Amino acid sequence: MIRFLLTMSLCFLPALVAAKGTVSSADPRATDAGMEILRAGGSATDASMAMMLVLTVVEPQSSGIGGGGFLVHHDAKTKMVATVDGRETAPASATPTLFLNPDGTPMRFREAVPGGRSVGVPGNIALMAKAHKKWGKLKWAKLFDPAIRVAENGYEVTPRLAGVIKTMSAVWGDFPETRAIYWQDGRPKAAGETIRNPALAKLLRDVAKRGPKAFYSGQNAQAIVDAAGQSKRNPTVITKADIAKYQAKDRAAVCTTYRVYKLCGMGPPSSGATTVFQILGMVERFDMKALGKDDPRSWHLIAEAMQLAYADREKYLGDADFVSVPVAGLLDKAYIASRSAIISETKALGAYAAGNPPGAPQRISAVSGEVSGTTHFVAVDGAGSIATYTSTVEGPFGSQLVANGYILNNELTDFTWVPEKQGALVANRVQPGKRPLSSMSPTIVYNDKGEPIFTVGAAGGKTIIMQVAKTLIAHLDWGLPVDQAVAAPNIYFGGDGLLLEANTPLAAMAGPLAGFGRTVVQWNGSGKLNAAAKVGDKWVGAADPRSEGTAATE
């Protein structure tokens, strides 16, 4: 009788439904895939990998398995943060003069990118395999289901994709395989039309069945070799040995403190964590909360810290497997305080030279190049584990080359093209097996109790660092909810001066910001951020309103 009564009483208790989590990505089809995996019991890592695969199909201009990425992971069970480096590598044939003309001058960017010369060995599938082995819950093959379905059944061209297809079609006369996928009736596909990619679906089925070896050996490896070597533009030598030996690498997370918070991100070959954290460290002595988002002085201080941090980036950052990178020195609190001390609250510095962090080698400053591409996505599962992942093929449609239906990257153009300056070797010069410097900045924030409360990342080349930095300040200092923090105006700098995002409240501050003694320019640079924040006991995702991205929470 007691057992019967206990059973009956349990029948009237509210149903206990496990929290499925939160995802955010740059495309609703990828967001749907992430939620599909979480509903099936997948981990945050599982969901993020499914999103990466779907983005390969539906956002080919920005990311995919033909490129690489960085993953920052928080394990809810162990409370540990870890990172995986899936950045592309230069083939053995690459030399420091890869992007120099015969007379020793740098190639023009538009001449260097298309074709095989710019292609690095892709890293995303190796990253996926390593992360899945560590933190995956579902079977490997299950993660491929959404992407295979979309590639086979077809997907609708978005306005953003249609615009990029139209723009890049001007060079596709030399890339018939790419044009075959993204053209229809002798013209670029338009928004609302359908793309099917059976070749990519076939490859995804093979990798789902046989694992990463199906990507890094055999027919697919040969397809990469052939695409790069037989390209009409810039043919180059990538060998099957280059591809077979590729490895994603575990890297120690780079962490710092900012006010009461702990922040962790990606170390070299990413410049993301060091540069974002330097910016935050330099504004930390100012009362950013009291100043607020509507005071031009806030943006003046951010602008000064930004340019000082980027100066250090250009001088000291590179692949730490090849060059000495003074990460500890760059984030040394005393060093950052000394850099902050030269910032005036009333006047722009005007000149922004690199500093001399502790332990820094003798080095020459040399600007590296990155174009606006890339994508970011976030997943938080019901247990509280977090996967925040930035993935890229570099520029719009990467190298323009296709292998088995996917776009091959142009990441090698992220190297500094001139290998030597004033008699000194440049940190980010081209070398065989080396990973080019990146600005990708996946970041996780912890509160004063050590609990994760926020995660963010962005797309947009070297502007990624500033998009992430302003979002962190907007959320942590100005108290903006995650969606408003992501939507906050973007600021950057260039040859014309300080760049303010046009048609925003920041642009309306152009006069006061010019009053600090600098040139100010309206800027049409678009943002593409994805983030998630803990609100009470639940995570909430957000996608940049400037993008086609979405977020979902269950």
- Phi first, then psi, for residue 386 (nearest 5°) are -125, 135
Tally Cβ neighbours within 10 Å of residue 38: 27
Determine phi and psi for 85, rounding to 5 degrees.
Answer: -100, 110
Question: Is there a single domain that holds both residue 365 and residue 383?
Answer: no
Place of tokens 């060091």: 274
Angle, helix 44-58 to helix 145-153, in steps of 10 degrees: 20
**Stretch among 336-350, 381-395, 518-532 having the lowest mean pLDDT:** 518-532
Asked if the structure places residue 293 within a domain, the reply is yes
Asked if 494 and 358 sit in the same domain, the reply is yes
- CA dist., res. 366 & res. 421, Å (int): 8
The structure tokens listed for 483 are 């969606």
Say yes or no to pLDDT of 1 above 90. Answer: no
Q: Give the DSSP letter of residue 106.
A: B
Element (H, E) at 36: helix 28-39
What integer is the mean pLDDT of 273-293?
Answer: 98
Q: How much of the chain exceeds pLDDT 90, in percent?
A: 91
509 lies in which domain range?
A: 251-370+437-540
Q: Report yes or no: 371 and 118 within 8 Å, Cβ to Cβ.
A: no
CB 126 within 8 A of CB 220: no
pLDDT in tens, 461-486: 999 999 999 999 999 999 999 999 99
CA distance 501 to 432: 38
**Residue recorded with tokens 């295979």:** 148
Domains in the chain: how many in total? 2
> What mean pLDDT do residues 228-245 have?
97
Q: Are 147 and 270 in a shared domain? A: no
Q: Please report where in the chains the tokens 């690199």 appear, as a residue.
A: 354
Q: State the Cα–Cα distance between residues 501 and 306, nearest whole angstrom.
A: 15
Please list, in sequence order, all residues whose beta carbon lies within 8 angstroms of the beta carbon of residue 472, skipping any fewer than 6 positions away. 258, 263, 276, 280, 443, 445, 454, 456, 485
**Residue 446 domain-assigned?**
yes
420 or 44, which is more confident? 44
CA angle 534, 537, 543 (to 5 degrees): 30
Compute the C-alpha angle 447/467/73, nearest 5°.
Answer: 45
Q: Do 307 and 403 share a domain, yes or no?
A: no
Element (H, E) at 500: strand 497-501
Helix or strand holding residue 553 (H, E): strand 550-553
Claim to verify: residue 29 and residue 150 sit in the same structural domain: yes
Separation between Cα atoms, residue 263 and residue 265, nearest integer Å: 7
* Any domain includes 16: no
pLDDT at 408: 98
374 is catalytic: yes
Structure tokens at 412: 């090698």
185 — alpha (psi -120 to 50), left (phi > 0) or beta? left
Q: Which of 78, 24, 16 is nearest to 47 (CA)?
A: 24
Whether the pLDDT of residue 105 is over 80: the answer is: yes
The β-bridge relationship of strands 194-195 and 261-265 is unpaired
Residues 300, 165, single domain; the answer is no
Contact 543, 551 (CB under 8 A): yes
Residue 270 and residue 256 share a domain: yes
Candidates 31, 89, 274, 374; catalytic one: 374
Please determine, for residue 15, whether its predicted confidence score (pLDDT) is greater than 70.
Answer: no
Residue 17, pLDDT > 50, answer no
Q: Is residue 467 part of a domain?
A: yes
Task: Looking at the structure, tell me whether residues 196 and 298 fall in a common domain.
Answer: no
Alpha-carbon Rg for the chain, nearest whole angstrom, is 23
Q: Per residue in 344-359, is it b (16+ CB within 10 Å) or e — as a string? A: eeeebbeebebbbbee
Q: Which amino acid is at 99?
A: F
10 within domain boundaries? no
Q: Is pLDDT above 80 for 4?
A: no
87 three-class SS: coil
Q: Assess if residue 80 is contained within a domain.
A: no
pLDDT per residue over 23-57, tens digit each? Answer: 999 999 999 999 999 999 999 999 999 999 999 99
Burial label for 14, CB within 10 Å (0-12, 13-18, 19+), is: exposed
User: For the chain, percent helix, then strand, then coil, each to nearest 5?
Assistant: 40, 20, 40
| The pLDDT of residue 74 | 98
**Helical pair 145-153 and 28-39, crossing angle rounded to 10 deg:** 140
Instruction: Return phi, psi of residue 454, to 5°.
Output: -160, 145
In whole angstroms, what separates CA 468 from the centre of its chain? 10
Residues 170 and 228 in one domain: yes
What number of residues does the chain have? 554
Q: Is the pLDDT of residue 10 over 60?
A: no
Evaluate the CA torsion angle 112, 115, 120, 122 in order and state its sign.
Answer: positive
* Same structural domain, 241 and 257: no
Could you count the other beta carbons within 10 Å of the beta carbon of residue 104? 8
pLDDT tens-place string over residues 440-469: 999 999 999 999 999 999 999 999 999 999
Q: Burial of 37 by CB count in 10 Å (0-12 exposed, 13-18 middle, 19+ buried)?
A: buried
Residue 179 lies in a domain: yes
For residue 484, give the H/E element and its range: helix 482-487
Contact 330, 385 (CB under 8 A): no
Is residue 97, in this structure, part of any structural domain at all?
no
CATH number of residue 447's parent domain: 1.10.246.130
The residue behind tokens 């089809």 is 29
Give the burial class of 506: count Cβ atoms within 10 A of its Cβ; 0-12 exposed, 13-18 middle, 19 or more buried.
Answer: buried
Q: Token pair of 425, please?
A: 């070797």
Split at pLDDT 50, 70, 90, the class of 372 is low
- pLDDT at position 371 is 64
- 276 and 344 co-located in one domain: yes
Report, as an integer, the average pLDDT of 390-398: 96
Same domain, 52 and 149: yes
Q: Would you say residue 6 has pLDDT above 80? A: no
Question: Would you say 87 and 269 are in contact if contact means Cβ atoms under 8 Å apart?
Answer: yes
Residue 241's alpha-carbon distances to 92, 224, 226, 290, 323, in angstroms, are: 9, 12, 14, 57, 24
Range 193-197 average pLDDT:
98
